[in-house]
């Protein structure tokens, strides 16, 4: 979850400084979400693997009122180990779905309640478990999957995102929020897991509030794409990012980590058939000067830059994510 300074003909120094401070604070506040966005990490397809052995009890109002997010607290298990264990021990507890870095497996019909968070939460919410993963990429992919599944359930049942952490009346719940506001349990997950993984791989704690923001963004994308509220589908309509463009006339250098990103003919994920190019095609190296003539800001706040490698305005132009550039000169 960068500092940036862009000087254009229409930007004053004061606005540039304010933008720099704001961008720096945002970087530290949402390094996991920022990583997911910059790498364009999508979500896995939801696999329906409903087991008939789970009991079928109705929710108190006939349908779910939100989602409870759990994590298994077992560093050594796999998603299939967890599912097998739950089927054997469902009389003690079970959830609807399991999530890891590459899978979203729905094992219990979400039209009926699960036993994962005690009374009264069980009678109100769809519940899923995240299996612990052990790398930066895996955690980012798991969080993307978890956010998508949460948003998918809200969308499917006609619910609006609302973080329950603030007043205990929302639709998106951590197990910790259930313990705090509803009782019937004393667990606090996934707080510790998120915090630990954020510190280990991203340099700062990842919080449930930041996860909720990713859920909200994902939900908004689902709404924009017009996906149905009905059955699980393996072909969710592609949702493209909204981008606002502004002319620029400035220069920058390729940053130390430019190779972590790619060149594109348009802002990534802004339209269909966006092409990418290798840095070798432009003889790139750290410190190479580039010329910027346009800035594209996605609705998630991330900036992309249209660059060329020559002062000639007719030279070929490419789009690149801002983190690839050193904008301070």
10 in any annotated domain: no
Query: What residues make up the domain containing 282?
Result: 243-326
Tell me, yes or no, whether 71 and 188 share the same domain: yes
17 in any annotated domain: no
State the pTM of this model: 0.63
Q: Structural domain tally of the chain?
A: 2
Mean pLDDT (whole number) for 149-160 = 95
**Residue that is written with structure tokens 């021990």 in the block:** 89
Q: Identify the pLDDT of residue 233.
A: 32
Last residue of a domain, one of 163, 194, 225: 225
- Asked whether 243 and 294 are in contact (CB, 8 A), the reply is no
Q: Closest Cα partner for 316 from 307, 327, 305? A: 307
Last residue of a domain, one of 225, 257, 287: 225
Q: Identify the pLDDT of residue 297.
A: 86
Mean pLDDT (whole number) for 192-216 = 95
Quote the CA–CA distance of 250 and 5 in Å, as a whole number.
Answer: 10
Higher pLDDT, 10 or 180: 180
32 in any annotated domain: no
Is the model's pLDDT at 290 over the cut of 80?
Answer: yes
Is the model's pLDDT at 186 over the cut of 70?
Answer: yes
Please report which confidence band the pLDDT of residue 256 belongs to, taking 50, 70 and 90 as the band edges.
Answer: very high
Tell me, yes or no, whether 209 and 298 share the same domain: no
158 in any annotated domain: yes
What DSSP character marks residue 115? B
Q: Identify the pLDDT of residue 229.
A: 38
Tell me, yes or no, whether 125 and 182 share the same domain: yes
What are the CA-CA distances from residue 73 to residues 61, 77, 114, 228, 324 (Å)? 31, 9, 19, 33, 36
Q: Identify the pLDDT of residue 299.
A: 67
Last residue of a domain, one of 198, 225, 252: 225
Tell me, yes or no, whether 134 and 171 share the same domain: yes
238 in any annotated domain: no
Tell me, yes or no, whether 83 and 138 share the same domain: yes
Tell me, yes or no, whether 196 and 49 share the same domain: yes
Residues in contact with 42: Cβ distance below 8 Å, sequence separation at least 6, in sequence order: 144
Write the pLDDT tens digit of every residue in 33-63: 999 999 999 999 999 999 999 999 999 999 9
277: phi then psi, degrees, rounded to nearest 5? -130, 150
- Asked whether 319 and 304 are in contact (CB, 8 A), the reply is yes
Tell me, yes or no, whether 307 and 212 share the same domain: no
Residue 305: give its domain's CATH number: 2.30.30.170
Tell me, yes or no, whether 317 and 181 share the same domain: no
Residue 198: give its domain's CATH number: 3.40.80.10
Alpha helices by DSSP H, the chain: 13-29, 31-38, 79-88, 136-156, 175-181, 191-202, 208-225
Is the model's pLDDT at 289 over the cut of 60?
Answer: yes
Tell me, yes or no, whether 157 and 254 share the same domain: no
Tell me, yes or no, whether 122 and 257 share the same domain: no
3-state secondary structure of 22: helix
211 in any annotated domain: yes
Tell me, yes or no, whether 162 and 252 share the same domain: no
Please report which confidence band the pLDDT of residue 149 belongs to, taking 50, 70 and 90 as the band edges.
Answer: very high
6 in any annotated domain: no
11 in any annotated domain: no
Tell me, yes or no, whether 270 and 200 share the same domain: no
């Amino acid at each position: 979850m960068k500092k940036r300074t862009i000087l254009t003909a229409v930007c004053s120094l004061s606005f540039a400084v304010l933008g720099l401070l704001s961008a720096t604070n945002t970087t530290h506040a949402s390094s996991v979400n920022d990583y997911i966005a910059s790498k364009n990490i999508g979500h896995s397809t939801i696999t329906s693997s409903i087991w008939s052995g789970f009991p079928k009890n109705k929710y108190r109002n006939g349908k779910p009122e939100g989602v409870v997010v759990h994590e298994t607290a077992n560093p050594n298990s796999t998603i299939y180990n967890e599912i097998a264990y739950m089927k054997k021990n469902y009389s003690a507890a079970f959830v609807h779905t399991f999530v890891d870095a590459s899978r979203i497996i729905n094992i219990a019909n979400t039209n009926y309640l699960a036993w994962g968070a005690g009374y009264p939460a069980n009678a109100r919410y769809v519940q899923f478990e995240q299996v612990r993963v052990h790398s930066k990429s895996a955690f980012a992919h798991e969080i993307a999957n978890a956010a998508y599944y949460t948003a998918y359930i809200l969308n499917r049942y006609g619910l609006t995102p609302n973080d329950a952490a603030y007043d205990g009346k929302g639709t998106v719940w951590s197990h910790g929020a259930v313990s705090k506001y509803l009782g019937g349990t004393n667990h606090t997950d996934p707080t510790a897991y998120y915090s630990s993984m954020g510190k280990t791989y991203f340099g700062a704690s990842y919080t449930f509030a930041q996860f909720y923001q990713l859920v909200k963004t994902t939900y908004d994308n689902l709404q924009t794409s017009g996906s149905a509220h009905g059955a699980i589908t393996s072909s969710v309509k592609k949702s493209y990012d909204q981008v606002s463009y502004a002319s620029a006339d400035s220069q920058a250098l390729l940053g130390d980590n430019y190779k972590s990103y790619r060149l594109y003919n348009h802002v990534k994920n802004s339209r269909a058939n966006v092409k990418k190019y290798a840095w070798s095609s432009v003889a790139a190296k750290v410190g190479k000067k580039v010329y910027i003539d346009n800035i594209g800001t996605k609705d998630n706040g991330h900036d992309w830059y249209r660059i060329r490698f020559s002062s000639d305005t007719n030279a070929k132009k490419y789009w690149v994510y801002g983190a690839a550039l050193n904008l301070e000169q």
